[in-house]
Structure 1
């Protein structure tokens, strides 16, 4: 797992994905303080490097894309207003089976990660209407290499279908939980999504 706010860089390119999880003051490995986040976004807005939607990153010569894994409620509270004010695009990756709940999925480490509230479907629809892209992050946040392929494929497909049903919009981006995948899982994701990424991966997939 990389430090929040650090990136998934494409080798030999000027493209960077800045990856965030939670905006809170706990100081955990997944957390960025909301005030620090605002300063980072103000810096990006004043930068000469364009900030683009994740789906557009493969098509531009240089750029930065912002992603937020897990759809924490504090994105709605802290990030969404800042991004709207600065007109910065972003993608939020949703764990579809946990919307409106907490991040206590079975694969969650026993310590080091705070248990936090996640956005409800109504809040996800609201940020989508405000211009945030909604991506898929599986149904239950498993390590996809550690479950049978049929179960992994269902996690990928069902998540996309549930988000599309709830939002009425196509879902074209996917994030592998923990950056964990197999060759067969990658092939499955490539069948359903245009762009995929993961915290521990370099570059964009498929």
Structure 2
């Protein structure tokens, strides 16, 4: 079952989001392909809550960060097809975060009314931390605060439980996953760029959909063909950087 990771859906993205932005026309074509091939999108939480009741051809569509173009360009396409999706929101980045503003947004962000509107249209809202830090590098108290503040704000504003999240940058560790569970999350997404196998529900792998991916490549990926070849370089970098990050955290802890 493919779990797709999107960020911005924008024909003219800023430099900071360009590599992971998808043209709106390409996004519409990708969603149409899923519909034509009989895929049924399900929210992330379904994988944890109802794994035995998935449709015949499930796919998961996720969006990280909470960019304003989700509301402007992606939501109408999803709504028109009756597709479910999950948007992971960085609460401190929201356009109207006010006194809760934190971190450095990379582009125009959703507002609270837009988040609520997406939820009203059947989009699952998940957490993405409060200020979008590298969670695996934070000390325990700061890590817990990032997760609980994000979750608490979302649940308060949406008046519904928020049970799923995605790790900023895809960075996690066993310690971060324990913190996610402690905060009350029952599922969480990493990146990994491969199809799910028997992963723990707090470390679900996703496939990155990025700028320039042609429709043929997209079709092969969702059908499970060529995943290793497409993401070979990404996977090498990810494994190497994971080692560096573990060492960096260990050095920081030894010096504290």
User: Does the CA contact (< 8 Å) of 2:10 and 2:69 recur in 1?
Assistant: yes
Who is 1:75 aligned against? 70
Query: Paired residue for 2:151?
Result: 160
Greater strand share, structure number: 1
Of residues 50-59 and 164-173 in structure 1, the stretch that sits farther from structure 2 once superposed is 50-59
Shift of 1:200: 3.6
TM-score, normalised by the number of residues in structure 1: 0.83
Gaps of 5+ in 2: 203-256
**Does residue 1:99 correspond to 2:71, yes or no?**
no
Which sections of structure 1, spanning at least 5 residues, go unmatched? 1-14, 109-114
User: After the TM superposition, which parts of structure 1 deviate over 3 Å for at least 4 consecutive aligned residues?
Assistant: 200-204
TM-score (ref. length: structure 2): 0.67
Measured after TM superposition, the shift of residue 201 of structure 1 is: 6.7
Deviation for aligned residue 1:129: 0.6
Q: Give 2:109's aligned residue.
A: 118
Q: Is the 8 A contact 2:143 2:179 kept in 1?
A: no
Partner of 2:82: 87
8 Å Cα contact 1:91-1:133 kept in structure 2: yes
Distance in 2 (CA, whole Å) between partners of 1:128 and 1:197 is 19
Once residues 84 and 48 of structure 1 are traced to their aligned partners in structure 2, the CA distance between those partners, rounded to angstroms, is 17
Q: Distance in 1 between the 2:134 and 2:119 partners?
A: 27
Higher helix share: 2
Q: How does 1:189-204 map to 2 (within 5 A)?
A: 189-191=180-182, 192-200=184-192, 203=196
Q: Aligned pair count?
A: 185
Please report how far the alpha carbon of residue 48 of structure 1 lies from its aligned counterpart in structure 2 after TM superposition: 2.4
Distance in 2, matches of 1:136 and 1:190, equals 13
Residue aligning to 2:164: 173
Q: Is the 8 A contact 2:92 2:103 kept in 1?
A: no
1:44 aligns with 2:34: yes
Task: Determine if contact 1:176/1:196 at 8 Å carries over to the other structure.
Answer: yes
Q: State the Cα distance separating 1:171 from its structure 2 match.
A: 0.1
Listed one character per residue, the Cα deviations across residues 63-93 of structure 1 (whole Å, up to 9, x for unaligned) are: 2100000110000000111101100000000
* Cα RMSD after superposing both structures: 2.2
Report the equivalent of 1:32: 22
